[in-house]
Amino acid sequence: MTGLPSIPNPDLTVGKDNKQGWNQPANRREGFHNGHARWRRMLMIRARRTLVLRDAPDPRLSAAVEATGLTRNPAFSALVVAEGDRVLHSSHAGDFGPDRPHSIQSVTKLHAHLILGELVAAGRVDPGQPVARYLPWIGSGYATASVQDVLDMNVENDFTEDYDDPLSACYAEEEALGWRIPADDRAELTMREFVAGLTGGDLLNRTGHAQYKSANTDVLTLIAQAAGDQHPLARVQAIVDAAGYEGGFHISLSPDLLPALSGGACMSARDLARFGLLLARRGRAVSGADVGNRAFLEQSLQRPAPILSATRGWVRYSNQLMTDGSWVGHAGYGGQFVMADMETGRVAAFLSVLENDSGYDDAYMAHVIRSLESILSAR
Cβ-Cβ contacts under 8 Å for 120 (sequence gap 6 or more):
126, 127, 293, 296
175 part of a folded domain: yes
Q: What is the spatial distance between Cα 122 and Cα 224, in angstroms, rounded to a whole number?
A: 12
In a domain, 283, yes or no: yes
Exposed/middle/buried for residue 251 (C-beta within 10 Å: 0-12, 13-18, 19+) = buried
Q: Which residues 6+ apart lie within 8 Å of 89 measured at CB?
A: 57, 58, 61, 62, 65, 79, 80, 81, 375
Q: What is the pTM of this model?
A: 0.97
User: What pLDDT is attached to residue 2?
Assistant: 64
Render pLDDT for 199-253 as a digit per residue (tens, 0 to 9).
Answer: 999 999 999 999 999 999 999 999 999 999 999 999 999 999 999 999 999 999 9
Count Cβ atoms below 10 Å from residue 54 Cβ, excluding itself: 9
Residue 202 belongs to some domain of the structure? yes
Per-residue pLDDT at 1: 46
Range of the structural domain that residue 100 is part of: 40-377
Evaluate whether residue 127 is within a structural domain. Answer: yes
Q: Is residue 20 part of a domain?
A: no
Per the structure, the count of domains in the chain is 1
DSSP per residue over 64-96, as a string? HHHHHTGGGSTTEEEEEEEETTEEEEEEE-TT-
Buried b (16+ CB within 10 A) or exposed e, 333-364: bbbbbbbbbbeebbbbbbbbbbbeebbbbeee
Contact between residue 328 and residue 300 where contact means Cβ atoms under 8 Å apart: yes
Mean pLDDT of 70-76: 98
pLDDT given for residue 104 in this prediction? 98
CA dist 140 and 203 (Å) reads 9
Tell me what the mean pLDDT of segment 259-272 comes to. 98
Q: Residue 118 falls within a domain, yes or no? A: yes
Domain assignment present for residue 347? The answer is yes
Give the mean pLDDT of 150-162. Answer: 97
Looking at the predicted structure, is the pLDDT value of residue 142 above 70? Answer: yes
pLDDT at 93: 98
Cβ contact 155:216 at 8 Å:
yes
Span 190-200, pLDDT tens digits: 999 999 999 99
Q: Is residue 181 part of a domain?
A: yes
8-56 pLDDT, tens digit each: 999 999 999 999 999 999 999 999 999 999 999 999 999 999 999 999 9
Rounded CA separation 237/43 (Å): 10
What pLDDT band is residue 159 in, cutting at 50, 70 and 90?
A: very high
CATH number of the domain enclosing 188: 3.40.710.10
> What value does the mean pLDDT of the chain take?
96
Radius of gyration for the chain, computed over Cα atoms and rounded to the nearest angstrom: 20
Does residue 186 carry a pLDDT above 90? no
Quick check: 92 and 200 in contact, CB under 8 A? no
